Amino acid sequence: MKAITNTKYIKNIFLSALLFTAVATFAQEDEEEAPKFSFSGSIDAYYRANLNGDNSFDEASGLPNAAPGSSFANLPGFALGMANFVAGYEGEKAGFVADLVFGPRGTDAIFASPIYSATGNIVNQLYAYWNVSDAVTLTFGNFNTFLGYEVISPVANFNYSTSYLFSYGPFSHTGLKADFALSDDFSLMLAVMNQTDITELNVTGKYAYGLQLGYSGQYLNVLVDNGPFEIDYTGGFDLSDTFFLGLNAAYFDGDGAGSFAGAAIYPQLTTSENFAIGLRAEYFAETDSFGAIGASDAEGDASVFAVTLTGSATIGNLMIKPELRLDTASDESVNFLDSDLMAQKSLSSFVLAAIYSF
Whether domain 36-357 has CATH 1.10.3720.10: the reply is: no
Question: Residue 223's pLDDT band (boundaries 50, 70, 90)?
Answer: very high
How far the first Cα of the chain sits from its last, in Å, is 67
pTM attached to this predicted model: 0.88
Please check the confidence at residue 10 and state whether its pLDDT lies above 60: no
Please check the confidence at residue 9 and state whether its pLDDT lies above 70: no
Alpha-carbon distances, residue 148 vs 40, 90, 141, 218 (angstroms): 23, 27, 20, 11
Please check the confidence at residue 105 and state whether its pLDDT lies above 70: yes
Question: Residue 18's pLDDT band (boundaries 50, 70, 90)?
Answer: very low
Return d(Cα 294, Cα 238) in angstroms, integer.
Answer: 36
pLDDT average, residue stretch 127-151: 98
Domain ranges of the chain: 36-357
Dihedral of alpha carbons 136, 139, 144, 146, sign: positive
Per-residue pLDDT of 62-97, as tens digits, reads: 899 999 999 999 999 999 999 999 999 999 999 999
Dihedral of alpha carbons 200, 202, 208, 209, sign: positive
Alpha-carbon distances, residue 243 vs 51, 159, 236, 259, 278 (angstroms): 30, 16, 11, 34, 10
Per-residue pLDDT of 200-221, as tens digits, reads: 999 999 999 999 999 999 999 9
Please check the confidence at residue 101 and state whether its pLDDT lies above 50: yes
Question: Residue 296's pLDDT band (boundaries 50, 70, 90)?
Answer: confident
Of residues 30 and 67, the one with the higher pLDDT is 67
- Contact status, residue 337 vs residue 346, Cβ threshold 8 Å: no
How large a percentage of the chain has pLDDT more than 70?
90
> What pLDDT score was predicted for residue 278?
98
